[in-house]
């Protein structure tokens, strides 16, 4: 199977390296299309695989194309490769907001898979929601799921609107976590800890809390109740969070991300 990643950015290279590490594809069959010759030449010096700047030399030969450019760059990409698309080729898009029908009509292709990975995919700890058009066969879908699984967990969804929803939750979610962590680090430094001490306290708190959650059957509410004893320090902090409507603000933020994902698809 020959794989072509269209876009030599962070996510595209993450996939290329993950596929090669898992030995699902060989270096000869792992291709990456870059915007410029200079970028392709630079990456070829530091990464395995074959790097191109001219779509004519790689698009017709690939069995699976991974569309990994920014959504706003997709019209230009579609125009460049449309006449090179061959019957039966499969297209996997990780572009936020760009709908299946848009890709199909722009490329004249029927086999389209749309996925939303997230940043922890870079260390094999990501989560990816994906869906597909009816023309994609079960074998092709399993093949793509195996590829996506090299970067973490996968979730197949029947409804395409849930891809936009996953963009707002798991796609953007790491930034929400870092935002909260940063606030806690600042709070710790204000209390007197050094930057390195504050970072260790906060990062290990998040790691331990998530591991504990994943290794139990308890809900978040259950764990909050276990930590927050009546009249204690945790209850004092939670009272402030509730008074300032932090819970509602987080939901509102996710809703704003969902709206933006939908806007990108128009």
Q: Which structural domain range is residue 35 located in? A: 3-158
Within a domain: 167: no
d(CA 16, CA 11): 9
pLDDT tens digits for range 141-192: 999 999 999 999 999 999 999 999 999 999 999 999 999 999 999 999 999 9
This prediction has a pTM of 0.87
| Number of domains the chain is built from | 2
Residues 33 and 151 in one domain: yes
Mean pLDDT of the chain: 94
d(CA 131, CA 137): 12
pLDDT tens digits for range 113-124: 999 999 999 999
Comparing CA positions, the residue from 123, 124, 33 lying closest to residue 80 is: 33
Residues 211 and 121 in one domain: no
Residues 17 and 133 in one domain: yes
Within a domain: 88: yes
pLDDT tens digits for range 14-40: 999 999 999 989 999 999 999 999 999
d(CA 88, CA 71): 24
Q: Are strands 50-52 and 3-6 parallel, antiparallel or unpaired?
A: unpaired
SS3 readout for 111-155: EEEEEECCHHHHHCCEEEEEEECCCCCHHHHHHHHHHHHHHEEEE
Residues 49 and 148 in one domain: yes
Residues 25 and 146 in one domain: yes
Within a domain: 165: no
Mean pLDDT of 46-68: 95
Query: CB neighbours (10 Å) of residue 184?
Result: 16
Whether the predicted pLDDT of 265 surpasses 80: no
pLDDT tens digits for range 219-235: 999 999 999 999 999 99
Residues 96 and 22 in one domain: yes
d(CA 66, CA 95): 10
Domain with 249 in it: what CATH number? 1.10.3730.10
């Amino acid at each position: 199977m020959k794989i072509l990643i269209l876009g030599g950015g962070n996510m595209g290279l993450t996939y290329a390296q993950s596929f090669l590490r898992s030995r699902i594809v060989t270096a000869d069959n792992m291709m990456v299309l870059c915007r410029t010759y200079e970028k392709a030449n630079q990456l070829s010096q530091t990464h395995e695989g074959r790097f191109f700047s001219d779509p004519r030399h790689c698009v017709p030969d690939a069995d699976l194309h991974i569309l990994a450019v920014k959504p706003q760059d997709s019209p230009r990409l579609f125009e460049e490769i449309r006449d090179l698309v061959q019957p039966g080729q499969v297209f996997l898009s990780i572009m936020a907001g760009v709908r299946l029908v848009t890709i199909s009509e722009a490329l004249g292709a029927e086999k389209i898979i749309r996925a939303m990975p997230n940043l922890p995919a870079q260390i094999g700890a990501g989560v990816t929601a994906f869906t597909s058009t009816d023309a994609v066969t079960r074998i092709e879908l399993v093949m793509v799921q195996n590829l996506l699984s090299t970067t973490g967990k996968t979730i197949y969804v029947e409804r395409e609107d849930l891809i936009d929803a996953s963009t707002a939750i798991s796609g953007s979610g790491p930034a929400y976590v870092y935002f909260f962590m940063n606030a806690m680090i600042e709070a710790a430094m204000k209390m007197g800890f050094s930057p390195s001490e504050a970072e260790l306290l906060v990062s290990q708190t998040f790691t331990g809390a998530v591991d504990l959650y994943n290794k139990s059957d308890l809900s978040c509410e259950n764990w909050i109740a276990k930590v927050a004893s009546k009249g204690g320090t945790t209850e004092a902090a939670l009272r402030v969070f509730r008074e300032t409507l932090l819970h509602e603000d987080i939901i509102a933020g996710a809703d704003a991300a969902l709206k933006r994902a939908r806007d990108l698809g128009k």
